[in-house]
Structure 1
């Protein structure tokens, strides 16, 4: 009995997805569990119910049928597509549960990705009463229902926010000294990657895994920028962001 429960727990807990970026740095994402996705769907249903009550009140107060009735059909039909498109991969329910839609390759989904996911909701959820969606998510282990498989997306947990002092928005002291002039060669894509690496380092609890990941990531970036340093990985990446910030604000980029 204990063995069976352990297996079920492992299935529900899901796995991590490791994505190798174009800079050859691996970033790990925690896949949203089945339970988190179900709760998010229930919250979205509650949100829709409240919205329907508001619309019903408006229709009733106007004294009868009106063009607003069409909203009753449009909202549930395009609900997930609209919210995920304009809320960076999140519906209200997903936002509350701190999960979001992401591409398997780590990039930001485009409208075409959201559209494919939305299109196959008919099979995943409506025609099979969510059975198809739950089975494919659990069996696949990567948080992907049929729509996700075809769209090459998954649903991940949102990690810790990077603190302001670890971003290029940081205010630097007037006597700040530049450590790595090579930071001027960083692109916006590189900066996003570095912020992800910093977040990943902060989220790792295993000290050995943290050191190994940090050294691998530092090595890749050092090779890319032709930098040689023994600075600890977490400090190195923060320093790169600060140097870029300094170069940007002093108009040396």
Structure 2
């Protein structure tokens, strides 16, 4: 079963994230390692060609090795600068649909990512990944030491229980249907998917966080529709609004 975590943002909005599976993170790391290895291999060929093209090995060897190490720096800092530039993603994470964010749901800062990168040498390099895996398996948010110190988590961008617009189109509709909230068409597919996901999560796990999320969505939806107040039966209101949206946008 996938690990999930409910994160309360700075605006007191509860968002549920699915933590990245350990195997997905391992595969992402292997892909990144292959990329870094290939880069260093190319640099090695380049520097070797430079050395063989020069017959002054004794005098130029130190300079050429310095050039080699300098050119290897992008590979050494690969995961740090990639995550800093691409909002918490490396090529491996992009391929696996993963992303690093702060524990409060915000984008990870440069400082967070740097701390995470520094502890990579303890989590991954020093123990060939064993320590990182053990620590990640031992806590609810699958955080390795670098994540715990940097206050970050790795999330799955496409959750296992994510619904697509095709799913909500399967909801019952009728040609003679009379919409209760006809102005719901101003909402987007993404808005309605968020509502449907929230209702499904509440159905599967009726805890306070999910109830609060449904209340917030009901409030925001009623505001968008220009209603004076939120209907008392918020779940029924959202279900009706969702049904209205599907019927009206399919016709």
Q: Which of the five TM-score ranges fits, normalised by the shorter chain?
A: 0.5 to 0.7
Structure 1 pair 205–220 and aligned structure 2 pair: CA distance change class (3 A): closer
> Structure 1 residues 216, 119: CA separation in 2 closer, same or farther (over 3 Å shift)?
same
Report the CA distance shift for 1:222/1:202 in structure 2 as closer, same or farther (over 3 A).
Answer: closer
Alignment partner of 1:22 is 2:20: no
- Does structure 1 retain, via aligned residues, the 8 Å contact 2:218–2:230? no
C-alpha distance 31-227 of structure 1, shift in aligned 2 (>3 A): farther
The verdict on how the C-alpha distance between 1:233 and 1:55 changes in structure 2, with shifts beyond 3 A counting, is farther
Alignment root-mean-square deviation, CA: 3.9
Q: 1:25 to 1:32 in 2, by over 3 A?
A: same
Gapped regions of structure 2 (runs ≥ 5): 55-63, 165-181, 185-189, 232-236, 246-251
Answer yes or no: is the 8 Å Cα contact 2:39–2:75 preserved in 1. no
Q: For residues 46-88 of structure 1, give each alpha carbon's deviation from its aligned partner in whole angstroms, at most 9, with x where no partner exists.
A: 1112212322332244336365412454134311111110011
Cα gap change, 1:109/1:76 in structure 2, threshold over 3 Å: closer, same or farther?
A: same
Match of 1:137, SS state, is: helix
Q: CA deviation at 1:142?
A: 0.6
Displacement of 1:202 in angstroms is 4.7
Q: TM-score, normalised by structure 1?
A: 0.64
Q: 1:208 maps to what in 2?
A: 203
What's 2:30 paired with?
42
Distance in 2 separating the partners of 1:196 and 1:15? 24
CA contact (8 A) 2:195 2:217 kept: no
- Decide whether the 8 Å contact of 2:88 with 2:108 is kept in 1: yes
Superposed displacement of residue 140, structure 1: 0.6
- 1:1-253 matches, within 5 Å, as 13-62=1-50, 63=53, 65=64, 68-71=67-70, 73-159=72-158, 198-199=193-194, 201-202=196-197, 208-209=203-204, 215-221=214-220, 228-229=229-230, 232=238
Q: Does the 8 Å contact 2:103/2:152 carry over to 1? A: yes
Q: C-alpha distance in 2, partners of 1:131/1:224? A: 50
- Cα distance in 2 for partners of 1:196, 1:131 equals 41
- Structure whose alpha-carbon radius of gyration is higher: 2
Give the CA deviation at 1:207. Answer: 7.9
* 1:124 to partner: Cα distance: 1.2
Q: Is the 8 A contact 1:104 1:154 kept in 2?
A: yes
For the residue of structure 1 that corresponds to 2:101, the secondary structure is strand
Deviates more, 1:218-227 or 1:64-73: 218-227
Q: Answer yes or no: is the 8 Å Cα contact 1:14–1:142 preserved in 2.
A: no
Q: Matches of 1:221 and 1:79 in 2, distance apart? A: 41
Cα distance change, pair 56–131 in 1 and its aligned pair in 2 (3 A): same
CA change 1:204–1:115 in 2 (3 A) is farther
